[in-house]
Amino acid sequence: MADKKIHNVATLEKAIAELELKKKLLEAKLDANGEHLQKNFITMALRSVVPKTSFETGPIAAASHFLKSEKLKEGFTKLVSSFTGMATEGVESIMNKIKGRKDEKAG
């Protein structure tokens, strides 16, 4: 598509239609990948943190090793930090809206 030159409206409309189709295909792929992540997140997270050998020695050893993992601690720290940032932004947004309404009433 990038190497095609557009010289008239018909060619432009065809290019737009092709891009719309490509957009729909990419959106469908993104949705499918998102669903896969939602369905398999716990398993993928567990396998990325716990070495394969821990699974071979039994579930108790795997759970113990998982809870001691530095990657897990770092992940939770990042998650908490992210949630804190989002909550702070949300509270600030609400406060700005309330302040804006008070300024409108006063003005």
Q: Which domain does 92 fall in, by range?
A: 69-107
Cα–Cα distance for residue pair 20/34, rounded to 1 Å:
21
Tell whether 85 and 56 lie within a shared domain. no
Same domain as 76, residue 64: no
The reply to whether 97 and 57 lie within a common domain is no
Model confidence, pTM = 0.41
Alpha-helical (H) ranges within 1-107 are 9-49, 52-56, 59-68, 70-106
Measured between its terminal Cα atoms, the distance across the chain in Å is: 55
Distance (Å, rounded) from C-alpha 91 to C-alpha 86?
9
For 49-61, how does the pLDDT look when each residue is reduced to its tens digit (9 = 90+)? Answer: 766 665 556 666 6
Share of the chain above pLDDT 70, in %: 74
Together in a domain, 76 and 41: no
Contact 72, 95 (CB under 8 A): no
